[in-house]
Amino acid sequence: MKLVIANGYVIDPAQQVNAGRNLLIEDGRVVGLLDRSEPVPEGAELMDATAGSCISRPTATSARTIPCSPPSV
């Protein structure tokens, strides 16, 4: 399964990234960072990070994504 979490903000010192980006996730792992202007890859589900709270945190061996949740009302 492919998922793009769009309109997020990524801080990744290893790649010297500190900017608005979209995350490309496949099978539960972050596999790429996309510029916000790049199209969503074919077959990918789109989730808008501005609609809730999403956290993706890299570790020494993998990148883990905590699913987005809807904002509290």
Decide the pairing of beta strands 45-48 and 29-34: unpaired
Number of domains in the chain: 1
Is position 33 within any domain? yes
Euclidean distance between CA atoms 10 and 18, whole angstroms: 6
Decide the pairing of beta strands 2-12 and 45-48: parallel
- Look up residue 58 and give its amino acid: P
Is position 16 within any domain? yes
Is position 46 within any domain? yes
pLDDT at site 71: 47
Is position 72 within any domain? no
In contact, 23 and 10? CB cutoff 8 Å:
yes
Find the domain containing 23 and state its range.
2-67
CATH of the domain at 26: 2.30.40.10
pLDDT in tens, 43-56: 999 988 886 655 65
Phi, psi values for residue 52, rounded to 5°: -165, -155
What distance, in Å, lies between the first and last C-alpha atoms of the chain?
30
Please indicate, yes or no, whether the overall pTM of this predicted structure exceeds 0.85. Answer: no
Mean per-residue pLDDT, 9-16: 84
Mean per-residue pLDDT, 25-43: 91
